[in-house]
Structure 1
């Protein structure tokens, strides 16, 4: 049996007046997910445990079957695992965004958490320059992709910096940065680093992009996860454009498949991800395919783009996979990691809708897949990290 676990990041949302009271899921054209929902099981799962932030790091860890309350140390360490960084047990790993602020003062606000979705070919030299000019025995800058980079603080987990609570920049779009500057000020070394980086980014011979500040956040000790094959009994792979998913895959011993042209945006290589999934499934059991587009559109506050992203997920990922595997015994898990409501432009704690379709699944008979239709069945998993094991038991694999 082949198992496809398909994730439309941030797909869930709330009803919008501009969509006639519909959510973006309800407004999107999703005949393939609707068909799988009608002939399968749908429900909701609480992917983010109470008391934890509703980030993609926490939520996707849950979706892969690992309890975040046990294994999560921070966003940075997961992305460090994607790069295979060699870290000391007491190192503190920060996620480092290149951001655009109105000004780096208490009167400033966060204009853009992604610096206009800066491209990797532009951001990488910037981060390399930051390392050249600011890197030392205490701090090392590591370039990642687009606006997502890393800062490793040697033995930082032994300092008070480990307890600093910096807002994820995508949570404070168009909001004041004053509270976070106050937090940065509690660490003299980090404070100096942020302002020295600002001075470097102002040099137009180094940086012609929108980026005018660094934003360290999501810090933690190095990540350690159980082996996925040992916990699930399956040889699995992850396919995603973002280091977060690649890091979870690397840390749990899964194959990590890179797809050329995968961007993490609305415009991405959909067919490349489909082809990579089908190729892996020729000789293996399980593939986790992650699309970031709906989440990015949610952060951007565009209902139109998010509806389009969800529609494309259905037409360009779910549909071709259904067609290619129609004559094979296949099981489907389709969901999102968290909600990214248009009105909030950030993640929320809502339980996510999911579809299970395969052996052992009684037909729900429900005509469409949405937040409300999933809620109507009364099926809710209070611990999101149990969704995968629940699905495998339903399919008769556990």
Structure 2
């Protein structure tokens, strides 16, 4: 038996009036998930522990079977593992987003945050801009590291875990009250605007109709992580397929194989089929027991408040990932169990994460059920099936 998790990041939502009271998952054309749901268990899963902030870090740790209250030491340290930064015990890792602030004459504190991803900036553009920041601001205490797209990293030598605000939580808001209390961190953010706003590359981006990537934004502070080996914990050899450093970092920390996929970039137009094909190859040719296929696009579209593109991302997940996995596993004649779910909701209404439970669907190719339901938030809630502790959902998949 082989095991698969297909994770549609931020896929869950709330009923939307413009969709006739349906969610994007309920509204979209998802024939493969509709077919599988009739043969599957569906239900709700609470992936965010009570008292913890809803985020892809805590939620994906849960889905992978790691209790965030035990294993979570911050988001950025997990990303540091992916980037290959060897953190010292006294280091603090900070996520260093490249964001879009309002381009006006107001003081920095009075500007608004317009886009947490700077028009989903390419890694190539981000490299140029981060290098400009590094040249002016890097020193022996603060080091800057390139990540992917808008997601980068700063290591603070002998720093402290300070309270910082995620930029996607305050879209459209004046930033003053959300800036770091630490004076030096705040000063670096302010100086980065002076470095970046009129940078030649940003002037080119503006001419193309793209948002300027005109400031860095620190958040997600944390200490060096300590994860138990996934294979030791579950006696399964596992592989991670994701475009984002957070998920790859979790995999590195857990001793899982990280599988690169060309063209996988975390955007709406990522290489969905490539991820699916790579997953099947890991299971059928490379002797892996388990693969985790993470797709970022629904979450990004939720943050953008783009209903039509969130629906499209879910439809792509259905057609280009789940359908491909299903057909190729069947063609290979390999029995498998597949868990399909989001990590957390990213509702269009608020454009950020919430702690509400998410719908899951568990399909077993060797033991198909006979049900009438479809896979969505409403019907999962009506099923009566509830996983109260998200880190236990993987036990269902592995039949532990």
The question of a shared fold, defined as TM-score above 0.5 by the shorter chain, is answered with: yes
Q: Which residue of 2 aligns with 1:109?
A: 112
* Total equivalences in the alignment: 386
1:334 to 340, 349, 353: 340
Q: Which residue of 1 aligns with 2:183?
A: 188
d(CA) in 2 for partners of 1:221 and 1:96? 15
What secondary structure, in the 3-state scheme, does the structure 1 residue paired with 2:372 have?
coil
CA deviation after TM superposition for structure 1 residue 104, in Å? 5.4
d(CA) in 2 for partners of 1:382 and 1:359? 25
Deviations, residues 202-221 of structure 1 (Å, cap 9, x unaligned)? 34246544011110000000
Checking the alignment, whether the CA contact within 8 Å between 1:124 and 1:145 is kept in structure 2 is no
Q: Which residue of 2 aligns with 1:67?
A: 67
Q: Which residue of 1 aligns with 2:122?
A: 119
Checking the alignment, whether the CA contact within 8 Å between 1:234 and 1:285 is kept in structure 2 is yes
d(CA) in 2 for partners of 1:262 and 1:318? 16
Q: Which runs of 5+ in 2 are unaligned?
A: 206-211
CA deviation after TM superposition for structure 1 residue 267, in Å? 0.6
Q: Which runs of 5+ in 1 are unaligned?
A: none
d(CA) in 2 for partners of 1:19 and 1:110? 28
Q: Which residue of 2 aligns with 1:174?
A: 172
d(CA) in 2 for partners of 1:251 and 1:7? 19
Checking the alignment, whether the CA contact within 8 Å between 1:97 and 1:148 is kept in structure 2 is yes
2:353 to 347, 351, 354: 347
d(CA) in 2 for partners of 1:364 and 1:52? 37
What secondary structure, in the 3-state scheme, does the structure 2 residue paired with 1:368 have?
coil
1:236 to 233, 238, 250: 238
Q: Which residue of 2 aligns with 1:27?
A: 27
What secondary structure, in the 3-state scheme, does the structure 1 residue paired with 2:392 have?
helix
TM-score with structure 1 setting the length: 0.94
CA deviation after TM superposition for structure 1 residue 367, in Å? 3.0
CA deviation after TM superposition for structure 1 residue 359, in Å? 6.7
Deviations, residues 294-326 of structure 1 (Å, cap 9, x unaligned)? 111111111111111111100111111111112
Q: Which residue of 2 aligns with 1:276?
A: 278
Checking the alignment, whether the CA contact within 8 Å between 1:238 and 1:287 is kept in structure 2 is yes
What secondary structure, in the 3-state scheme, does the structure 1 residue paired with 2:226 have?
coil
What secondary structure, in the 3-state scheme, does the structure 1 residue paired with 2:188 have?
helix
d(CA) in 2 for partners of 1:60 and 1:211? 28
Cα RMSD after superposing both structures: 1.5
Checking the alignment, whether the CA contact within 8 Å between 2:122 and 2:149 is kept in structure 1 is yes
d(CA) in 1 for partners of 2:366 and 2:215? 52
d(CA) in 2 for partners of 1:188 and 1:171? 22
Deviations, residues 150-175 of structure 1 (Å, cap 9, x unaligned)? 01100103xxxx132x2211111111
Deviations, residues 220-259 of structure 1 (Å, cap 9, x unaligned)? 0011111001101111000011111100101100000111
1:140 to 134, 143, 147: 143
Matched, 1:156 2:159: yes
d(CA) in 2 for partners of 1:89 and 1:388? 30
Checking the alignment, whether the CA contact within 8 Å between 1:366 and 1:373 is kept in structure 2 is no
What secondary structure, in the 3-state scheme, does the structure 1 residue paired with 2:108 have?
coil
TM-score with structure 2 setting the length: 0.93
Matched, 1:197 2:200: no
1:338-377 matched pairs, under 5 angstroms: 338-358=344-364, 363=369, 365-377=371-383
Judging changes above 3 Å, is the alpha-carbon distance between structure 1 residues 104 and 290 closer, same or farther for their aligned structure 2 residues? Answer: farther
Checking the alignment, whether the CA contact within 8 Å between 2:335 and 2:366 is kept in structure 1 is no
